[in-house]
A and B are shown apart, each in its own frame.
Chain A
Amino acid sequence: MIRSLEDVSRLAKEKGPKKLAVLSPEDEEFMLAVKRSWEVGYIEPVLIGDREKMDRVAEKVGFDIGRFEKIEENDRQTVSDLGIGMLFSGKLSIVSKGQIPTSYIYRSVIRAESKAGSGMTVSVMSLWEIPGVDHLVAFTDSGVNIQPDFKAKAEIIKNAVFLYHLLGFQRPKIGVLSSQRGFRETMASFRDYKSLRKAAETGDLGECEVVEGVSFSDIFLGPRGRMKSYGEIDLNRTPHVILVPCLDTGNIICKLDLFLDVKRCSLTVTSKGAVCIPARSDMSDSIEGQIAMGVVVADRMEKEVH
């Protein structure tokens, strides 16, 4: 069972190197992360982007990229299409975002899934490693679906359940968030929670459990709970997966890692492999951890799918 980012890093070293396409590593932090990931044996990179910029940042971080495959391309959508195309044609098993807005990548993945006829909804999982919690916690969808309805949420949960099965959790617990308060009208997110709980009970979301409650307060204190002091908080009640009601909520909360004592790692699992989605503001240590997660997921998908 993979419970921590340390487990991820250990396994990535064991299972690597894997071929990974990096989309526009044109910034020092991204290039440094690629350099370190190569040095520790996670990956063998294929570098796609502006040749001049890539050469310049590689030199700055002291990385000899002469030995790696490079594809010169300046148009960002084409950069993304090329990388995702290689993933879907089986030429490599992981793609990682570089210094390029994520929307280009989502567009490429959505087109590729549609062409492959996989029926897979594209969603992003931002995993937190929280001290005191014995598993990684995924916030989803933190990247693609702006205002998912019940049907989209069901697919988003299935993607997360798929990931947790790969990480070794047979029956992950899912928390479905809604900001339903007793004094306002019923919110769509609350109706979705009710329906998703039923869907989980009948097995429609895969092997998983939707836990009772729609807020962190419900989850940690129970529906009528209260606390005298924060010492009463038991973080081990944190579900494996937290389904957020909308993109704003997911993205805003998952980036609290910059403030809290947690580490974040974001990825998309496609039908053909993993796509690492570091934020454009992430530093090299964090990006390296996210690449390691991509390697582990790709390795487990190879075993699962083939």
Chain B
Amino acid sequence: MARSFNEIVQEAKEGGARKRLAVPSVKKHHLEPLSRAAKEGFVTPLLIGNSKTIKAMVGNSPLASLPCEIVEAGNPAAALQQAIALTRDGRADILLQGGADQKSFMNAVLDAKTGLLKGKLASYASVFQIKQVGKLILATDTLLNNFPGIAEKQIIVENALGLASLLGMDQPKIAALAAIEQVNPSIPSTLDAALLSKMSQRKQFGRAVIEGPLDMDCALSQAAAARKGLQSIVTGNADIYLVPEIETGYQLVQALVFFGKVETAGILLGTVKPVIPDLPFLSDDGRFIELALAAMVSNKGALHG
């Protein structure tokens, strides 16, 4: 079971052969985490783009002396197309956004016919290393889906449980967050959370336990929950925080980063191979951890089929 980012790195290193990493239009700032991961021995970057430019960039970096391949592509659109194709047909194990523009990247990845979707819905999970609790925490969906309904939330939970299982969480505890801990028909998030909670009671998520609606104080603290008369194994001990919608999810991660300096990494779920979008608020350490996380997921395979 991985309880820290170091343990994820360890698992990535112990996973056998280096994973091949498709990186379209690599930029200079990607090189540090890529070099680290290549040096640790768990990835071989395939840098896709103008080979002359890439060679000049890599030549001055530690990557020059590490396993790394260059794949020629005439322009950024072609580089992206090639990266997707390599990942889809198995010549690459992991896809990075690299320097591709985010809109083109996401559209390409999520394209129902030519993209990397495994089922109907992909989602995104942020992984946090929380020193205070000595374990890893997931939050989802913190990037992809704007306003998921109950059917989408069910898939988002299932996707997160897939990752939780690869991280070795045996009976994941999920806090379905909302503004308040009571079910209020005027606040849709409380209704969705209550339904998911009921579904979990009926074992629709296996051994996982969903409690909701929970406001953040009840989710974070058992003492706070007890003062509100709420008893649950989830309060104060959640492994997964399910956010009600993207307005909360996207900002929650960033609030933890900027106000709490909490290290984070993230990965797309529900795709045939691990996919890592390029988010501005990650540190180089976080980017390195993402590569290890993707390598670990790729090793264990189950999640991405």
A contacts, CB < 8 Å to B? 27, 29, 101, 128, 130, 146, 177-179, 181-185, 187, 189, 215-217, 220-221, 224-230, 233, 235, 244-253, 255-256, 258-262, 279-281
Contacts and interface: CB of A to CB of B under 8 A. Distances in A.
Nearest to A27: B227
Contacts of A227: 280-281, 283
Contacts of A179: 146, 246-247, 249-251
B202 interface: no
B283 A256 contact: no
A182 B220 contact: no
Interface stretch (B44-52, B54-62, B175-183, B295-303): B175-183
B246 A281 contact: no
20 contacts: A29-B227, A177-B251, A179-B249, A182-B103, A183-B102, A187-B146, A216-B251, A226-B280, A227-B283, A233-B261, A244-B251, A248-B187, A248-B243, A251-B215, A251-B216, A252-B178, A252-B216, A253-B216, A255-B215, A255-B220
Contacts of A253: 216, 248, 251-252, 255
Interface string B218-261: 10110111011000000000000001111111111011111111
A252 B220 contact: no
Nearest to A233: B258
A221 B217 contact: no
Given A146-B187, A221-B281, A229-B285, A249 B251 contact: yes
A128 B260 CA distance: 13
Most buried by B among A220, A262, A281: A281
Interface string B269-294: 00000000001110111000000000
Contacts of B248: 246, 248-249, 252-253
A282 B250 CA distance: 26
Contacts of A261: 260
A246 B258 contact: no
B106 A183 contact: yes
Nearest to A183: B106
Given A217-B281, A251-B180, A281-B228, A183 B255 contact: no
Contacts of A183: 102-103, 105-107
Nearest to A229: B283
Contacts of A101: 182
A59 B201 CA distance: 41
A130 B259 contact: yes
Interface of B: 29, 32, 101-103, 105-107, 132, 143, 146, 177-180, 182, 186-187, 189, 215-218, 220-221, 223-225, 227-228, 243-252, 254-261, 279-281, 283-285
Interface of B is mostly: helix
Given A251-B215, A280-B227, 18 more contacts: A146-B187, A179-B146, A183-B102, A183-B105, A225-B280, A226-B29, A227-B283, A228-B32, A228-B283, A230-B257, A230-B261, A235-B258, A246-B245, A248-B245, A252-B252, A256-B216, A256-B256, A281-B218
Most chain B CB neighbours (cut-off 10 Å) among A177, A178, A251: A251
B93 to A, nearest CB: 24
A203 to B, nearest CB: 28
Nearest to B259: A260
Nearest to A101: B182
A177 B247 contact: yes
B247 A249 contact: yes
Contacts of B189: 248
Given A183-B106, A217-B280, A256-B255, A248 B285 contact: no
A179 B221 CA distance: 27
B199 to A, nearest CB: 20
Contacts of A246: 245, 247-248
A281 B259 contact: no
Residue of A177, A185, A216, A260 with highest tally of chain B CB at under 10 A: A216
A58 to B, nearest CB: 18
Nearest to B186: A146
B244 A248 contact: yes
Contact of B177 (A185, A230, A252): A252
Contacts of B106: 183
Contact of A259 (B102, B105, B220, B283): B220
Contacts of A182: 101-103
A283 to B, nearest CB: 8
B124 to A, nearest CB: 11
B249 A259 contact: no
Contact of B254 (A217, A235, A247, A255): A217
Nearest to B110: A183
A130 B245 CA distance: 26
A183 B109 CA distance: 11
Given A259-B220, A281-B228, A235 B247 contact: no
A261 B259 CA distance: 8
